[in-house]
Chain A
Amino acid sequence: VQLQESGPGLLKPSQTLSLTCNVSGDSVSTSNHYWSWIRQQPGQALEWIANTYFSGSPSYNPSLRGRLTISLDTSKNQFSLNLRSVTAADTAVYYCARAVAGSSDWYHPWGQGTLVTVSS
């Protein structure tokens, strides 16, 4: 299973960040797993952003709710994230990951990550 992020690299403040995660070796049309975005701001801990499910409503980090939309494209076997009204604080490496539901969910595997810089 491999995940690969794609994104713009550089954005200006107030723009919308659009990221896509292409999945190979597994199908996003599964109820065995779900799919997540996680980011790491410079010098900070990993931060969960959002989940999308084949069946069920997406879930979002409350601190980012209102600016986020996550979606699943089963025809392309990928999932995407939109983050609106970005600021410099959204500068981070963004990872996509497959979430494994267990007694406590974990992430395996992850994409390589894509660096997003927000700067005027």
Chain B
Amino acid sequence: SYVLTQPPSVSVAPGQTATIPCGGFNIGSKSVHWYHQKPGQAPVLVVYDDSDRPSGIPERFSGSNSGNTATLTISRVEAGDEAEYTCQVWDNSNDHPVFGGGTKLTVL
């Protein structure tokens, strides 16, 4: 089945830009969705269809997708952005969703 690869962790200083990659074979041909999850809380959709934001998600969150890598970018990172970020696509071959392993964003 389709595999998504994410680095276990990314660190960034407050006010800087965080980039979280999500790798997959020809992922640029798929729509990618991103969630953040804080300990003990529900996952929250932050980007869908590569780069669209649900209502209530700040413009600081953006996404891109090309080739074999999709990227979630968080600009002007705040302490409250510290969470685990997970990418998701639809595996058309098996007709079900696939999730990446998640990346823990640490704000230094």
Using CB atoms and an 8 Å cutoff, list the residues of chain A in contact with chain B.
Answer: 44-48, 59, 61-62, 95, 97, 100, 102-113
* Contact sample, A vs B, 16 pairs, CB 8 Å cutoff: A44-B101, A45-B99, A45-B102, A46-B86, A61-B96, A102-B48, A102-B49, A104-B33, A106-B33, A106-B48, A106-B49, A107-B35, A107-B97, A108-B54, A109-B42, A109-B44
Q: Which of B63-99 contact A (CB under 8 A)?
A: 86, 88-90, 94-99
Count contacts on B: residues with CB < 8 A to the other chain.
27
Q: Which of B30, B45, B95 contacts A109 (CB 8 A)?
A: B45
Is A104 a contact partner of B89 (Cβ separation < 8 A)?
yes
Q: Which 9 A-B pairs have CB atoms at the shortest separation, nearest pair first?
A: A104-B31, A46-B99, A104-B90, A106-B33, A108-B45, A110-B42, A45-B101, A106-B48, A110-B43
CA A44 – CA B8 in complex, angstroms?
11
> A107 and B45 in contact (CB under 8 A), knowing A45-B102, A46-B86, A59-B96?
yes
Is A113 a contact partner of B33 (Cβ separation < 8 A)?
no
Is A105 a contact partner of B97 (Cβ separation < 8 A)?
yes
Q: Which of B24-75 contact A (CB under 8 A)?
A: 30-33, 35, 40-45, 48-49, 54
Interface assignment of B14: CB less than 8 Å from any CB of chain A: no
